[in-house]
């Protein structure tokens, strides 16, 4: 199967970025379009109710500029420095999951790569994670990268 349009989900969490360094091992063709996508979500939750606070136009521009610079700087760490078509994207939305999926579908992505987060205890009981959302609703093939175990010897 030829994956020529790959979308990588970024959340800029340090652990997720570390997990995404496994992209180096996937042998994605250097000619493939690789879209590095971050969605800044502006929904606030105070446990009693959820409310939406959209950023001002000025703040929106600043958020996107800063995030695009950070995404660009990630290319070598993710093993994409030799790829010729790496496209950094930053969106601002009240619904990050749906915004990401809409983008992937709009470009006809045939592969989505995302990092899972290891949830332990009570949090692990719920299926509200981004990767579960993709599994349920994405039409593209998925690769879900899991954090590498850390072994303590001694």
Domains of the chain in sequence order: 5-145 (3.40.50.620)
Q: What is the pTM of this model?
A: 0.84
pLDDT for res 107: 97
CB 11 within 8 A of CB 144: no
pLDDT for res 105: 97
> pLDDT (tens digit, 0 to 9) for every residue of the chain, 154 residues total?
779 999 999 998 899 999 999 999 998 999 999 999 999 888 755 556 665 677 788 888 898 999 999 999 999 999 999 999 999 999 988 889 999 999 999 999 999 999 987 655 444 444 448 888 999 999 999 999 988 776 656 5
Q: How far is Cα 18 from Cα 1, in angstroms, rounded to an integer?
A: 27
pLDDT for res 133: 92
pLDDT for res 59: 84
Token pair listed for 14: 């340090």
pLDDT for res 153: 65
Q: Nearest Cα to 9, choosing from 136, 120, 127, 129?
A: 129
pLDDT for res 44: 59
pLDDT for res 117: 77
């Amino acid at each position: 199967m030829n994956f020529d349009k790959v979308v990588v989900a970024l959340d800029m969490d340090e652990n997720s970025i570390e997990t995404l360094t496994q992209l180096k091992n996937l042998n994605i063709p250097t000619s493939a379009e690789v879209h590095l996508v971050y969605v800044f979500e502006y929904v606030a939750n105070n446990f009693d109710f959820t409310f939406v606070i959209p950023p001002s136009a000025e703040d929106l521009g600043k958020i996107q500029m800063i995030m695009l610079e950070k995404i660009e700087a990630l290319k070598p760490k993710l093993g994409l420095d030799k790829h010729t078509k790496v496209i950094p994207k930053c969106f601002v939305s009240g619904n990050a999951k749906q915004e990401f999926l809409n983008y992937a579908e709009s470009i006809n992505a045939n592969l989505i790569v995302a990092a899972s987060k290891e949830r332990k205890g009570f949090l692990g009981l719920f299926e509200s994670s981004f990767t579960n959302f993709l599994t349920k609703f994405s039409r593209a093939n998925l690769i879900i990268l899991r954090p590498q175990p850390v072994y303590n010897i001694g």
